Structure formats: structure tokens, C-alpha cells
Amino acid sequence: MDQPMRRRARAVRPTEDSCAPPGAAHENAVADKWLSSRGRGARRLRFTKATDVVISGNHSDSIYFNHDGWLARYKILHKGSRQILDFILPGQVFGLPACLFPHAPYSIMTITEANISAIRFNMMDNVFDRDPALANALFWSVVQEAAILGEHLTGAGRRSAYERVSHLLLELFVRLNTSHRTGDMTFSIPLTQELIADALGLTAVHVNRTLRALREDKLIAVDGRSITIIDFEALSLLSDFEKSYLGQFGRLEPHGTKPATLGKFAGREIETEIETKIETWT
């Protein structure tokens, strides 16, 4: 892993992106009234790699929408070891606990460069009354985040290293596939073996051996940062992967078809709803 990623990510001031005003088609009377009472809405920010967006112990006044980068939610223990709680993928909302608690319970750093919109938390006042569609999208995002963290806890407590790595790869594939960011059964991840190890409670050496075993068992193929799932069903069975916690059920649908979802919002639907609102706020 690169040296900057070994150290606690520095809190670097991001740069603001200039965004053209949205067209009239994106405006509506409710949004105008809402935003006029709250001043400026969303800010478009660009973060470099290995930068803290949220810092544990600090208070935040914004929630964030990740447009295109990869981030990690993590904690640093007093002896210096790091536990990654979750990976934040493109299209996700994050940072809500840092607004609700006096001090952020964990940090969030960029793994890659990322374009992020910061939305002031006070804009969320009465969101369920003022904009039910947006409220449902945000609510679904929070519920899914909790479900993912619960599944990660189960993996850390009960799954073997072989099962943990398999389960994580399947989870990332399904999450990316839901928002149409995969090609057939192949997806690209910018994760080092050390990042994967910190997410699964393993060592980087153990992750390396496990990935090699999965390749030798002809369950996955690895080409640089690209991973191909060769046998989805076999990998699911051996890792006890059941994707309903990601808002889906049943078998994986053929690529290019809309996945079955639980509730109105899932995957790309959540992302589109929130992106549309952000355009009206910027």
C-alpha cells in the first residue's frame, strides 16, 4: 500500500468545482421556497486520494453525496491499527452520523479521487413533509448502510478468511451491478490487499493467499484491478452470501436487466433521485 494510505489520511482542504446553474426543467416551486429560506444549497467539492472527508471526533454540518469515487469508513484504534467498516461506492450518501452526534464516531477517507456534493444538514429539516421522494431515497440509503454493517459484523465473527474474501467480492459486485457499473461478470475495484485486509480483520499476506486460492479453485479471475466472477452460485454457497440485505432477492439477473428490488428505491433509482435534487440546490 502507498505510504500516504498507511498514515492516517490528512485533512486536506478540497477544491470547489464551478457548476453551471441547472436548467428551468430541474426547478420546481417547492425547491425554490425551500432553498430560499436556507441560503446556498449543495457545494460541489473535489477531493484528492487519501484525504479525510469526515474526521473522527469532529462535528460535521453536512451530509455528502459521492458522485464517482471510492471511499472508506474507518476507525483508528489507540495502538494505531485500522478497522475499515465499509467501502463507500459511487452514488452513495454518507456522513449522516457525524451530523447527528456531537462528535463523528468514525472517519471517512477517499481511496481514489472523488467528486462529492456537500449538503448542509439543516436543509434536511422537515424533509419528509417537504419532499417525500427525496426523504424515501435518503431513508433507504441509511437502512441499507445499517444492513451492510450488520452483515460485515457477521462475517468478522463467524466466517473464515476464504469466506470473508469471497463474500466481500460478491457484495461489491452486486452493489456495482445494481447501479450498472459492471461489465457482465467483471468489475474493477481500486482496493489494495491491505485495504481489503483492514476491512476483513485479516493480514495482507492472508488476503493474498486467499485470492490465490480462489483463482486456483476457478471461482474468480484477476487481471490487475479487474475481477471476474466465474461461478457466482458456487461462490455464494461457500460464503453463505444472500443478497437480500442489499435490497435484492432471488438470483442475479442477466446483465443489462433491471434487478429486483425491495421497496421503491434501490441502486440507481436512489442515486438518480438524489442527483436530481442536488442539481436544483447547487
CA 43/CA 260 separation, integer angstroms: 33
- Residue 54 pairs in a beta bridge with 108
Mean pLDDT of 55-71: 92
CA 11/CA 39 separation, integer angstroms: 26
pLDDT range class, residue 145, cuts 50, 70, 90: confident
Percent of the chain exceeding pLDDT 70 equals: 73
Segments making up each domain of the chain, as ranges: 3-125, 132-273
All residues at 6 or more sequence positions from 1 whose CB lies less than 8 Å from its CB, including other chains: 192, 193, 194, 195, 204
pLDDT range class, residue 272, cuts 50, 70, 90: low
- Into which CATH architecture does domain 132-273 fall? Orthogonal Bundle (1.10)
For 10, other C-beta atoms within 10 Å of its C-beta total 12
- Same CATH fold assignment for domains 3-125 and 132-273: no
Model pTM score? 0.76
**Lowest-pLDDT range of 118-127, 144-153, 218-227, 272-281:** 272-281
Residue length of the chain: 282
Residue 235: strand, helix, or coil: helix
CA 244/CA 255 separation, integer angstroms: 18
Identity of the amino acid at 61: D
Which residue's entry shows cell 421522494? 133
CA 90/CA 52 separation, integer angstroms: 17
Classified by CATH at the fold level, domain 3-125 comes out as Jelly Rolls (2.60.120)
Predicted local distance difference test score (pLDDT) of residue 75: 96
